[in-house]
Structure 1
Amino acid sequence: MTLGPQTVAVVGGGIAGLAAAFELTKLASDRNLLLACRVLESAPTWGGKIVTHRAGGLLIEAGPDSFLSQKPWALDLCRELGLGDQLINTNDEHRKTFVYSRGRLRELPEGLVVIVPSKLGPFLRSGLLSWSGLARMGLEWAVPRRRIGADESLRGFFQRRFGREATDRLIEPLMAGIYAGDATQMSIQATFPRFPELEQQCGSLIRGLLAKRSSGPEPANGRPKPSLFVTLRHGLSGLVDALVKRLATAGVGLQTGVGVEALRVRSREAGRWVYDLMLSDGSRIAADAVILAVPAFASADLVRPLSPSSSALLEQILYASTATIALAYHSDDVRPAIQGFGFVVPRVEQRPLLAATWTSLKWADRAPAGQVLVRCYLGGIGREASLAGSDEDLVSRSREELAALAGIKAPPTYVEVNRWPRGMPQYTVGHLDRLTQIEAGLSRYPGLVLTGAAYRGVGIPDCIREGQASAGRIADYLAGKRN
């Protein structure tokens, strides 16, 4: 008897869901699995927060504008999709970053992206820390390692090792700012596990980071070494477009504008489930396996009938709301005021602005000659008030901050506001333990997998890795189910 294909429904067409579907097509071919895959997205377009807009020669990223090159999954996927020649590095001639501190922008000395400055002189002269703050930071060598135990907050970890001032003025804006989060709530183990690992291995972060730096860079396989962050010349939506095209060519069913309102299970035989998805258009589909690549709060609603305990834990994953405000200027109006890639604002400064990027200085081909493109970031945990009001209010707030912090007072020639309500998941203390409990609560349903930014990494490479890993779990399950 010829068996029909096993069906997989991927719920969510952001980068994690698309990467999962693409990986499934490859695994099915490699393992000779007969699969029918369908991707459902409630929004009218693919890509989630990866959205590229073009306006009058400007290239504007509404969400993320780049991805970390040290995590290989995004780079590898771009190359696999034939986008390798579109990968671009940051503009090396503008490679400076600033911190707004004590009334002015202060350059962040080279190397501080990993805490340890590569040159001590510029760090001492930067004015980022007082002499007492510098002295306390230097004492990190002598701070004993913490005994392995319960999870620790990001602030608790770095303040214990480097002191309050270094945490407030340097570490918090660089690290907590990635998550638009509050360092007192964020889990160090879930966000930056490398640092507690270094503490345990070397006894000192400074000692461990210096040792890793002296070991030299990884070989680049004959390719030019990428910068810390990379992007695509024509915008990150190119990655989404390439994935969707490949999926369509592979015969994957792709449907936008339809959400999943409910998920039910029924059993054909002991331990074997069929997953029924009730769709927003009134239809229903049945699947042998499901990948939920949607926000944690959406997954919580869907899995509540299957595991109330897992649903309750998913609801404990908090989300921050943010907005990006793009402003274009005539170059002559702002050139004297800007240099480098942009600046971050420590929470201790009590400003509404999280950060600003001089986008057209950081990346090539983002603005036509004679124009400068700037991106401002508002919102985040504890800064939600900055998002109040209309889009015009957000533009005015951003302009006021740019005038006060960077001296940009000219009127912009173009503005664009992109809001992301509940857009950034927060990995609060105890996050990894909650994930273990969520998985345990859903363990009866091996054909159901949760993936995406809510769990083990918010960046594009992390979401791709999680999507691929989810596809691997589903392929293993279906291969065992058919045998």
Structure 2
Amino acid sequence: MPSTFNITILGGGISGLSTAWYLSRSLPKSCKITIIEASNRLGGWIQSRRHGEQGILFEYGPRTLRPGGLGGLAVLELIKSLNLIPSLITIPKTHPAALNRYIYYPDRLNKLPHSLLSLAPSLSRAFIRKAIPGILREPFVKPANTDDESITAFIARRFNSHIADNIMSAVIHGIYAGDANQLSVRSVFPSLYYYEHYYGSVLKGLMRGLKEVEDKKELERELGECVGDLINDMSKISIFSFKDGIQMIVDALERELRKKENVAIKMGEKVVKLEIENEKAKVYTESSVFPSSHIISTLSSHILSRILTPTLPYLSQTPSVTVAVVNLAYSNPSLLPVTGFGYLIPASIPNNIYSALGVVFDSDAVPSQDKVNITKLTVMLGGHYYYGMNSIPNEDELLSHARWVVSNHLGIREEPMLWNVTIQRECISQYQVGHLDRMRELHHSIRNMCGGRLSVAGASYLGVSVNDIVLNSRMLAGRVVEWIERRRKLNVTGLESVEEIPTPII
């Protein structure tokens, strides 16, 4: 390694911050890490703010996390290392917020079964009964000879169109704010793809499961050792947050990074050009130039495609959607007609005139964040409905739209005591059909054309959830450290996991 090795990280969201934190723990002080963030705050789409004299907490982005899977373990490791365990708010699997989730269709809330035992009482509802024929036929449907297809096509083929157009469409609204007709089943729900591929049936796969490949098992063991007893504490937990919201992770990362002698955080510096040529790399902002030994971009891929030389294929082909987040707080604590986490709205719903995606019952989903007993909701609007629009509604219009939704869906007609409207522009990447193949080509292009000077991370590539992003940042940082420690020429793209898709052990 040269006497001075400069790593420049583009973007101060959760991906950039966690990547910098993992690197700073392992690299020597002679390795300088610089985070460049265009705005005057860190955290990206994660933002928790208190409003009003009573300090009501509104989440503008992600509001809860799940402890399961490798990504969940990676986040728990991060939480433990940042000493955030005392600030946890946990929701057990027996809590109404975990058990009660709804879909609004066509003009009422339909509670989804949360287990086989809860399925029988649901059969009296027409919405659930229409799904039964598809569930019964699924084990007998022959697998398709295709590498990828849309989520709608996959679910309709294996189950039926009712499940695809209503249940799965609503789920995709909740995760991606996207169109299930466009998104890739292999990239968004890889387990479903593998269940069909290896068992010939999704239901058979769900019953039998797929064991992780050996390299993932090793990572699981490593994370388990780091997390320790916290794994047992979280085994009965459905979701969790923090006393002051998800922002607490961002704030803790910032505090720790600012203590590091070899870490610098540059805020209010918009990157306008990125040059990689003749094994030299430079980052240009509106006011400065940062010569870099290696660059890690956590910017969205379409932004990176506009500023990067050389031009790389497929960077610009992952679109993103804009979501309007409307937070509402009411002084009356008993306004909700049901208890639970909230409800999602499928694309098939009639008269969805304001492009609503779903509503979270925040006062049920994460209780005890506020000192007063209130009803608190978040209405999500837009997503793929806004895609391609020349202009979207302004904040006043969005507030009016959100109030129309809760009035017509939930019967809440009271004036909110507090509200906030946030327009999250191009905030969720859309993994459309063929995404995995495009990422594989991009991986090879970065490796062959960037001279080992560029890696990519963040939601444009291998997962949009906080869990996915933290896990991928950890893996990327580990690869970078490994190459530097071996004093080899660094050539890590961040997309290594798509180069050869491992075969799960059945």
Report the CA distance between 1:332 and its aligned residue. 5.0
1:399 offset after TM fit, Å?
Answer: 0.7
Q: Out of 379, 387, 411, which is 1:407 matched to? A: 411
Q: Which residue of 1 aligns with 2:441?
A: 437
Alignment RMSD (CA, Å): 2.3
Cα displacement (A) at 1:175 = 3.2
The offset of 1:280, in angstroms, is 1.4
Residue type matched to 1:424 in 2?
I
Shift in CA distance, 379/248, structure 1 to aligned 2, threshold 3 Å? same
Question: Which residue among 248, 254, 275 is the counterpart of 2:265?
Answer: 254
- Tell me what 1:375 maps to: 378
CA drift of 1:391 comes to: 0.7
Query: In structure 1, what is the Cα distance between the partners aligned to 2:164 and 2:488?
Result: 54
Deviations 1:350-407 (A, max 9, x none): 4221100110111122334331111000011135579832211111111111111111
Query: 1:358 is aligned with what amino acid?
Result: F
Which stretch of structure 1 is more off in the superposition, 396-405 or 90-99?
A: 90-99
**1:99 Cα offset (Å):** 0.9
Cα distance 1:374–1:63, how it changes in 2: closer, same or farther (>3 A)? same
Matches within 5 A, 1:198-277: 198-212=195-209, 221-251=231-261, 252-267=263-278, 273-277=279-283
Which residue, out of 361, 364, 367, partners 2:364?
A: 361
Contact 1:60 1:366 in 2 (8 A): no
Pair 1:98-2:102 in alignment? yes
How far apart, CA to CA, are the structure 1 residues paired with 2:181 and 2:480?
36
Flag the 1:37–1:404 CA change in 2: closer, same or farther, 3 A: same
Residue 316 of structure 1 and its aligned partner are, at CA, apart by: 0.9
Does 2:318 match 1:317? yes
Equivalent of residue 189 in structure 1, options 181, 186, 190: 186
- Of 395, 398, 403 in structure 2, the residue corresponding to residue 394 of structure 1 is 398
The AA in structure 2 aligned to 1:232 is F
Q: Deviations 1:401-423 (Å, cap 9, x if unpaired)?
A: 11111111111111100111111
Q: State the secondary structure of the residue aligned to 1:355.
A: strand
Pairwise mapping of residues 286-297 of structure 1 onto structure 2 (< 5 A)? Answer: 286-297=291-302
In the alignment, the residues of structure 1 paired with residue 345 and residue 117 of structure 2 have an alpha-carbon distance, to the nearest angstrom, of 22
Q: Secondary structure at the match of 2:144?
A: coil
Deviation at 1:57, TM superposition (A): 2.4
Q: C-alpha distance in 1, partners of 2:187/2:33? A: 31
> Is 1:141 matched up with 2:139?
yes
| Residues in 2 aligned to 1:301 and 1:364: alpha-carbon distance in whole angstroms | 43
Tell me, in whole angstroms, the C-alpha distance in 2 between the residues paired with 1:452 and 1:410.
40
Counterpart residue identity of residue 181, structure 1: G
Q: Deviations over 1:73-124 (max 9, x none)?
A: 212211111112222223614431111112211111113xxxxx44331231
Q: Deviation per CA, 1:32-91, whole angstroms, max 9, x where unpaired?
A: x73111111001000101101001321111111122221322122111111122222236
Specify the code of the residue in structure 2 equivalent to 1:366: Q
- What runs of 5+ residues in structure 2 fail to find an aligned partner? 211-223, 490-506
Mapped to 2, the partners of 1:102 and 1:430 lie a distance apart of 32
TM-score (norm 1): 0.89
2-structure distance, mates of 1:328, 1:122: 33
Query: Does the CA contact (< 8 Å) of 1:447 and 1:477 recur in 2?
Result: no
Per the alignment, residue 280 of structure 1 pairs with 286
Q: Aligned pair in 2 of structure 1 residues 3, 166: CA closer, same or farther (>3 Å)?
A: closer
Give the structure-2-normalised TM-score. Answer: 0.85
Question: Could you tell me how far apart the structure 1 residues matched to 2:202 and 2:121 are?
Answer: 20
Deviates more, 1:167-176 or 1:371-380: 167-176
SS at match of 1:416: strand
**Pair 370,364 (structure 1): closer, same or farther in 2 beyond 3 Å:** closer
Matched, 1:38 2:34: yes
Match of 1:467 among 464, 473, 476: 473
The letter for the 2-side match of 1:141 is P
In the TM superposition, what is the alpha-carbon distance from 1:482 to its structure 2 partner? 6.1
Structure 2 residue 93 is matched with structure 1 residue 89 = no
The one-letter code of the counterpart of 1:443 is: R
Q: Tell me the equivalent position of 1:348.
A: 348
The aligned residue for residue 79 of structure 1 is 80
Local SS of the residue matching 1:474:
helix
Structure 1 CA distance for aligned equivalents of residues 64 and 121 of structure 2 = 28
Q: Is the 8 A contact 2:96 2:339 kept in 1?
A: no
1:6 lines up with 2:10 in the alignment:
no
Q: Is the 8 A contact 1:173 1:344 kept in 2?
A: yes
Cα displacement string for residues 410-450 of structure 1 (whole angstroms, at most 9, x for unaligned residues): 11111100111111100000101111111222213222101
